[in-house]
Amino acid sequence: MAEEVPQFFFDHQEVVEDLIKRQGLHSGLWGLSVEIGLVGSNMNVLDKNGKSKLTPAGVVLMSRIGIRQVSEPTDLTVDAAEVNPRQVEKKTTRRPPKAKKK
């Protein structure tokens, strides 16, 4: 028996959130962007009788995945300010040195 390998699935917004954090973005609405390509080819397919038949086909390729800034929120957008807020540095105040006892 083949060993089952683990699989992990993410929804669109989870992917956008991770890419926002990876890019260090702290503001703006960001949406999922996918670059696709289309290639024509001849492929062997089975016809209705179960016989192999060469037929023209189109193959859709997912070349790249990314994020792009958008102006309106949708089901595919994430607000960078909410998921990756800019870290505010805490200012430390120096205490004056303690007076020495005489």
The alpha carbon of 42 is separated from its chain's Cα centroid by a whole number of angstroms, namely 33
Provide the 10 A C-beta neighbour count for residue 78. Answer: 25
- Residue spans per domain, the chain: 12-83
Tens digit of each residue's pLDDT, the chain (102 residues): 788 999 999 999 999 999 999 999 999 999 999 999 999 999 999 989 999 999 999 999 999 999 999 999 998 899 999 999 998 877 666 776 777 776
Tokens of 17: 């959130």
Tell me which DSSP letter residue 76 carries. T
Residue-level pLDDT at 100: 72
Supply the pTM of this predicted model: 0.69
Residue-level pLDDT at 88: 80
